[in-house]
């Protein structure tokens, strides 16, 4: 029995080893998507559900001291939205640049299709066709938004090098590998696509890149600060100095709301990029100015709703930033607003440190704004504005009310004194000196009483208006509803017929009684002529005509203003389009020059003998 068990164990072990040998080649043929995983350059973000509401972020500086920090705070808020797992981020710069975003998305789709076709051709061992597709994908990704698609560009470059290796173009492949590692030292090269000598070359180049000399690139933008990305990584707000860069041409991308995305390759030194305004910039500036003028009133939420409509998103996350004097912390009011009805999904007030501590110091406030939604009250939106009455105005109203009450009390007191003096005057001899004194004093008290009562009533009335006019404070759904709706148009003057209809109608005459004998029909009485409509009073006609003229004048002014605004937007759009065309022409010329240079290098390399050509042919 024992020898048979040993033979069975030996047979099982032999079968296991044979299975491993058979599985090895099959595993090498698995699709590249499971084997090639370049690093993700952006921070990991939680995947939001497909039906998650889209949110755009805007930061508005309420004073000059907060402008730079407000731009930095936008980036942190965008990261908080992207990491929330329940909201979908739409960058305001992309939402306002519709044409540019459409072009970049078209290039992304083109690149993705080319990369997919290249991978399919590579798996089918048609490596020459794969090289063409991966090169096309690489060029298309260079025209996309590399602040979000640099990972895909790096993957396309790696697969282009793999296709060149498979075609025997080792020198060109090594040039592509050097470029890939210079831009992304952590790029992964799978041994399933690269032979051992090429993997040795990859590791040698990686070490040289990591230990080589580093350079610095200083990026500035005009006319506004912008988010700066270098090779897909966020590096700060311009002007910014980017250190620890390799000696290569790096992809620099700058993004700012209201301006077209600008992107080009730069080496160490100075890089100044100009941002071209888009057609939506005037509207953005108008709405942000409205918010900055009245950051606590209903105009704030109304302007933010219009901004959401301009960006075509259902929610807006707004950060109102006040810097103040000195190096103290920023005062930040944040709200996430539903564009449809103005409901504040989230609201928070807090302080955020400046400088390097801003990123960590703002997380608590931003998490509060994106983590949960505030329910509506009885189906009505919740708001957090003061209804148009500022705290200083309300305080002044209360002071005036108190002053009015004091003056009324003083008026009543002096009125009683004047009445007392009058009674005493009547009981005193009229020709005496005391009577004259009582008369003079009584008149004085009477004047003081009248003035006190009048001033008290006026002061109390003005104070009541300052303190209570404009509705209640924050959280009032009724006040928010009134503020979010446009003011109703003035009611037209009722016509004369309506005025007449409201007058009491005359009673009909009693029926005429006839004797029983008089049964013969009486001759038909002539029908009374219908009463002519009474002409409307002259004052009503004048009011109606005046209202009509006022409406026509208002409509004309509105049309003129809209016409001027459309002309301004059209002019800016044409200027932006012209600048974009010039930049595209310059970029095409630059790409053509690089292509010619690369073609020249290829021709020179082909003339030289290939490295280890006999060994590679045998391999």
Residue 619 lies inside a defined structural domain of this protein: no
Measured in whole angstroms, how far is the alpha carbon of residue 278 from the centre of its chain? 15
Q: How does DSSP assign 553-566, residue by residue?
A: HHHHHHHHHHHHHH
Categorize the per-residue pLDDT at 201 as very low, low, confident or very high, splitting at 50, 70 and 90.
Answer: very high
What one-character DSSP code corresponds to residue 377? B
pLDDT value for 16: 52
Judge whether residue 562 has pLDDT over 60: yes
pLDDT surpassing 90 at residue 235: yes
Domain tally for the chain? 4
Same domain, 220 and 239: yes
Distance (Å, rounded) from C-alpha 106 to C-alpha 100?
Answer: 10
Say how far apart CA 74 and CA 89 lie, in whole Å. 12
CATH number of residue 142's parent domain: 1.25.40
Q: Which of 348, 377, 406 is the C-terminal boundary of a domain?
A: 377
Same-domain pairing of 406 and 447: yes
- pLDDT tens digit string along 462-507? 877 766 654 444 444 433 333 333 334 444 444 443 333 333 334 4
Look at residue 186 and tell me if it is in a domain.
yes
Distance CA 322, CA 354 (A): 11
Q: Using CA atoms, how far apart are residues 438 and 443, in angstroms rounded to an integer?
A: 9
The model's confidence at residue 352, banded by pLDDT at 50, 70 and 90, is: very high
Cis peptide before 239 (omega within 30 of 0): yes
DSSP state of 277: B
Whether 368 is in a domain gets the answer: yes
Average pLDDT for residues 563-588, to the nearest whole number? 80
- State the Cα–Cα distance between residues 436 and 419, nearest whole angstrom: 15
Does residue 451 contact residue 411 with C-beta atoms inside 8 Å? Answer: yes
Among 365-369, 381-385, 407-411, 564-568, top mean pLDDT goes to 365-369
| pLDDT at residue 275, rounded to an integer | 96
Identify the pLDDT of residue 41: 35
Query: Looking at the predicted structure, is the pLDDT value of residue 44 above 90?
Result: no
Average pLDDT of the segment spanning 70-92: 94
Whether 122 contacts 32, CB under 8 Å: yes
Q: Are residues 220 and 208 both part of a single domain?
A: no
Lowest average pLDDT, out of 56-70, 445-459, 519-533, goes to 519-533
The pLDDT of 174-179, averaged and rounded, is 93
Q: What is the mean pLDDT of residues 224-239?
A: 94
139 and 152 in a common domain: yes
Query: Domain containing 367: what range?
Result: 40-95+280-377
194 and 105 in one domain? yes
pLDDT-based confidence at residue 72 (cuts at 50, 70, 90): very high
Q: Does the model's pTM come out above 0.85?
A: no
Give the residue from 469, 503, 536 where a domain finishes: 469
**Are 128 and 203 members of one domain?**
yes
332 lies in some domain = yes
Q: What is the pLDDT of residue 20?
A: 46
Q: What is the mean pLDDT of residues 232-249?
A: 92
Domain boundary among the residues 442, 469, 496 is at 469
> How many C-beta neighbours within 10 Å does residue 380 have?
14
Most confident of 13-27, 474-488, 556-570: 556-570
In this structure, what CATH number is given to the domain that contains residue 354? 3.40.50.10070
């Amino acid at each position: 029995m024992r020898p048979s068990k040993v033979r069975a164990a030996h047979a099982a072990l032999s079968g296991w080893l044979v299975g491993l040998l058979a599985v090895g080649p099959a595993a090498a043929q698995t699709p590249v998507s499971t084997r090639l995983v370049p690093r993700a350059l952006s921070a990991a973000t939680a995947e939001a559900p497909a039906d998650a509401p889209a949110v755009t972020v805007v930061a508005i500086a309420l004073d000059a001291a907060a402008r730079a920090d407000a731009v930095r705070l936008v980036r942190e808020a965008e990261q908080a939205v992207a990491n929330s797992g329940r909201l979908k981020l739409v960058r305001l710069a992309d939402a306002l640049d519709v044409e540019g975003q459409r072009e970049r998305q078209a290039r992304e789709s083109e690149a993705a299709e080319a990369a997919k076709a290249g991978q399919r051709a590579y798996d089918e061992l048609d490596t020459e066709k794969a090289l063409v597709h991966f090169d096309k994908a690489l060029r298309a990704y260079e025209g996309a938004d590399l602040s979000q698609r640099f990972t895909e560009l790096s993957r396309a470059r790696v697969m282009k090098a793999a296709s060149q290796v498979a075609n025997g173009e080792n020198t060109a492949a090594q040039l592509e590998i050097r470029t890939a590692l210079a831009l992304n030292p952590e790029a992964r090269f799978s041994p399933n696509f690269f032979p051992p000598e090429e993997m040795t070359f990859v590791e040698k180049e990686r070490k040289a890149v990591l230990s080589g000399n580093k350079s610095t690139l200083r990026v500035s933008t005009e006319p506004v600060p912008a988010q700066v990305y270098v090779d897909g990584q966020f590096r700060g707000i311009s002007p910014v100095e980017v250190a620890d860069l390799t000696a290569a041409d790096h992809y620099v991308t700058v993004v700012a709301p209201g301006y077209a995305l600008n992107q080009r390759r730069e080496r160490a030194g100075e890089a100044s990029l100009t941002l071209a305004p888009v057609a939506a910039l005037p509207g953005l500036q108008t709405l942000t100015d409205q918010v900055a003028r009245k950051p606590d009133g209903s105009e704030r939420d109304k302007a933010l709703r219009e901004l959401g409509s301009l960006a075509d998103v259902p929610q807006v996350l707004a950060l109102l930033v006040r810097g103040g004097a000195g190096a103290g912390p920023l005062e930040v009011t944040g709200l996430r607003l539903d564009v449809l009805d103005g409901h504040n999904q989230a609201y928070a007030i807090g302080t955020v440190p400046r400088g390097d501590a801003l990123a960590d110091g703002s997380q608590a406030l931003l998490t509060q704004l994106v983590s949960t939604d505030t329910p509506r009250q009885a189906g009505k939106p919740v708001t957090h504005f003061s209804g148009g009455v500022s705290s200083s105005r309300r305080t002044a109203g209360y002071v005036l009310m108190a002053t009015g009450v004091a003056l009324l009390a003083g008026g009543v007191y002096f009125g009683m004194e004047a009445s007392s003096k009058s009674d005493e005057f009547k009981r005193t001899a009229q020709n005496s000196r005391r009577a004259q004194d009582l008369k003079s004093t009584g008149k004085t008290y009477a004047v003081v009483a009248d003035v006190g009562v009048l001033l008290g009533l006026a002061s109390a009335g003005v104070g009541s208006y300052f303190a209570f006019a404009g509705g209640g404070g924050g959280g009032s759904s009724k006040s928010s509803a009134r503020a979010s709706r446009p003011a109703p148009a003035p009611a037209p003057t009722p016509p004369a017929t309506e005025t007449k209809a409201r007058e009491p109608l005359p009673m009909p005459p009693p029926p005429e009684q006839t004797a029983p004998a008089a049964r013969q029909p009486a001759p038909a009485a002539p029908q009374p002529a219908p009463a002519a409509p009474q002409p409307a009073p002259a004052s009503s006609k004048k009011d109606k005509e005046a209202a009509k003229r006022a409406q026509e004048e208002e409509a004309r002014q509105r049309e003129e203003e809209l016409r001027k605004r459309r002309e301004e937007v059209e002019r800016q759009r044409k200027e932006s389009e012209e600048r974009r065309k010039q930049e595209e022409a310059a970029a095409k010329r630059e790409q053509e020059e690089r292509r010619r240079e690369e073609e020249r290098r290829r021709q020179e390399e082909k003339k030289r003998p290939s490295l280890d050509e006999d060994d590679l042919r045998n391999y």
